[in-house]
A and B are shown apart, each in its own frame.
Chain A
Amino acid sequence: MTNAIPEVKLAEEHVGKWGMVINQDICTGCQACVAACAMENNITFVGEEDSGYGRSMHWIRIERFWEGEYPEVKMTPNQPMLCQQCGSAPCEPVCPAFATVHSTAESLNLQVYNRCVGTRYCANNCPYQVRSFNWRDYERPEPLPNQFNPDVTVRRRGVMEKCTFCIQRIHKAQDEAKSEGREVMDGEFTTACAQACPATAITFGRTDDPQSLVSQLAHKGHGVKHLEELGTLPSVTYFKGG
């Protein structure tokens, strides 16, 4: 009985399919990723009041922490936080309507807007608190509706949403590759946030391909996965202090 002790899957051994590496050391906190994400994914603008009350809707946010009192403030590196596309996501089983499920094909954590009834249990159970809820139908003044991304659904009030790893771009690239009879190449496309980052702090790609840039960065050795002790198997690796 060599296998009497069950195997434990560690966070760093989780391969998944799509992954991201975020280098906090070169992140300037410029928020370009936040803006690009909002444009790409038709995220609404909640306005000053709701934003101040903790209802801002961003699929990616830059977390800044500091220690001490002004002016003796010690900053920690900026921390872009987005859905970690967990391999074992706590948000999925708690939804009574199967509105958030695991895609076995893409190894992603999906959000199905039209199934969502708005119990908000998934958001409670997300240890990263990266889900955004449509508290109201926020106004989108002209000419903003003209910049809607036609590949992405516009969500209405009462629906939960979150980062999809720009699944519309993934599908587009896959369709193109398929029509040309090849595999998707590394660097052929990337997510909106990675594309917009002037410091190239965000790298996106196939983690199941050991040759890809994202895999090579992820295995450099000093990467961390957030809250890996919870066993969520995140797909995003962070670097800092290196």
Chain B
Amino acid sequence: MTDSNVVDLLAVFSDLAPAADAVEQLRAMGVHDDCMNVISGVPVTEAMLGRPRQWTNVPRIAMGGAILGFGAGFFLAFISPYLYPYPIQVSSQAFVPGPPTVVVLFELTMLGMLLSTFLGVFLDSFFPNYRPMKYVPEISDGKIAIFVECPHVEEKKITDVLKKLGAESVKPAEAQHL
């Protein structure tokens, strides 16, 4: 299963600067950005570590949800009044009342958008996920951990470099139950 060639390491840093240096150094050693992953206890932006920008679908999913919500609102506001067995008249108001449709469209658009934003986080992050994963609990104490999972590089060399750059520990990464 594990190719002897594949390096699977986990280095823990206590600070941002050495972690950023390590990312740079690893890249210089031929480790592709796709082979690295960073986990942290506070949101560390990609720019701080010099990492490529992360792709997120959340805004698109939100937009999709907003459109769906608008559709639901449109159905309620403009179509549902025609689904009755006979026309229901209240007061002298029009069948499809003007201003109230704005209220309905607004609320359902927002509901659709916010529900799907929430759902988007779940979809994009593969939540909920209770399988064993590579993790170190120290990161919720503010540490930054870098995973290196890369073929065709020497484990020893990488370990030395990371240690030299200030990694608190470098060890083989193991999936565990969180």
In the assembled complex, B89 has its CB within 8 A of some CB on chain A: yes
B93 near A93 with CB under 8 A, answer: yes
In terms of DSSP, what is the predominant structure of the interface of chain B? Answer: loop
Roughly how many angstroms separate A88 CA and B90 CA in the complex, as a whole number? 8
A104 to chain B, nearest CB (A): 5
Roughly how many angstroms separate A90 CA and B91 CA in the complex, as a whole number? 7
Chain B residue numbers with a CB within 8 Å of A95 are 90
Sorting the interface of chain A by its residue count into under 10, 10 to 19, 20 to 34 or 35 or more gives 10 to 19
Q: Contact flags (1/0) for B43-54 with A, using CB distance below 8 Å? A: 000000000000
In the assembled complex, B176 has its CB within 8 A of some CB on chain A: no
B89 near A101 with CB under 8 A, answer: yes
A101 near B92 with CB under 8 A, answer: no
Roughly how many angstroms separate A88 CA and B91 CA in the complex, as a whole number? 4
A10 to chain B, nearest CB (A): 14
Chain B residue numbers with a CB within 8 Å of A100 are 90
Roughly how many angstroms separate A86 CA and B87 CA in the complex, as a whole number? 19
| A100-120 contacts to B (CB < 8 Å) | 100-104
B89 near A89 with CB under 8 A, answer: no
| B29-49 contacts to A (CB < 8 Å) | none
Closest B residue to A89 by CB, please name it: B91
A88 near B92 with CB under 8 A, answer: yes
Chain A residue numbers with a CB within 8 Å of B89 are 101-104
| B86-112 contacts to A (CB < 8 Å) | 87-93, 97
Other-chain residue from B88, B92, B93, B97 in contact with A98 (beta carbon distance below 8 A): B88
Roughly how many angstroms separate A86 CA and B92 CA in the complex, as a whole number? 10
Instruction: Identify 18 residue pairs between A and B in the complex whose beta-carbon atoms are under 8 Å apart, listed by A's number.
Output: A87-B92, A88-B91, A89-B90, A89-B91, A90-B91, A92-B90, A93-B90, A93-B91, A93-B93, A95-B90, A98-B90, A100-B90, A101-B90, A102-B89, A103-B89, A104-B87, A104-B89, A233-B92
Residues of A within 8 A of B (CB): 86-90, 92-93, 95, 98, 100-104, 233
